[in-house]
């Protein structure tokens, strides 16, 4: 298989997926599909703090707390004073506690 012809896990959307598509899927409870959209945006270099924030939410809903924390910490580093900075700090702290509960550490 040629490198450029690999299949992706992104849901079929007629136009390139947007953050609004990912949020709509997340709101509809289609967490895996929303994560695929946000991952696609990151791969296409269309990730801004909002994409990372919502991808973190999707990851946390899938109990992938450590991955969610990485996205939220990236927001803290790139836009600490922005509107999602404080929310990301709180979510990262909560996710850290949940990760400790589920992994038995802490």
pTM for the structure as a whole: 0.75
Contact 71, 54 (CB under 8 A): no
The CATH number for 3-103, chosen from 1.20.1740.10, 1.25.40.10, 1.10.10.10, 3.30.1330.30, is 1.25.40.10
pLDDT of residue 100: 84
pLDDT digits (tens, 9 = 90+) for 73-101: 999 898 888 889 888 888 898 998 888 88
Instruction: Take residue 25 and report the two structure tokens written for it.
Output: 């899927």
Surface-to-core class of residue 17, CB atoms within 10 Å of its CB (0-12 exposed, 13-18 middle, 19+ buried): buried
Contact 62, 92 (CB under 8 A): no
Domain ranges of the chain: 3-103
In the block, tokens 């695929």 appear at 36
Surface-to-core class of residue 27, CB atoms within 10 Å of its CB (0-12 exposed, 13-18 middle, 19+ buried): exposed
């Amino acid at each position: 298989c040629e490198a450029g012809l690999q299949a992706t896990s992104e849901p079929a959307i007629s136009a390139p997926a947007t953050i609004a598509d990912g949020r709509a899927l997340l709101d509809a409870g289609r967490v895996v599909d929303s994560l695929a959209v946000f991952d696609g945006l990151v791969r296409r270099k269309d990730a801004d703090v909002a994409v990372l924030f919502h991808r973190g939410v999707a990851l946390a809903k899938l109990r992938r707390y450590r991955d969610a924390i990485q996205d939220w910490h990236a927001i803290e580093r790139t836009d600490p004073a922005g509107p999602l900075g404080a929310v990301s700090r709180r979510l990262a702290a909560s996710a850290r506690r949940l990760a400790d509960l589920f992994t038995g550490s802490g």
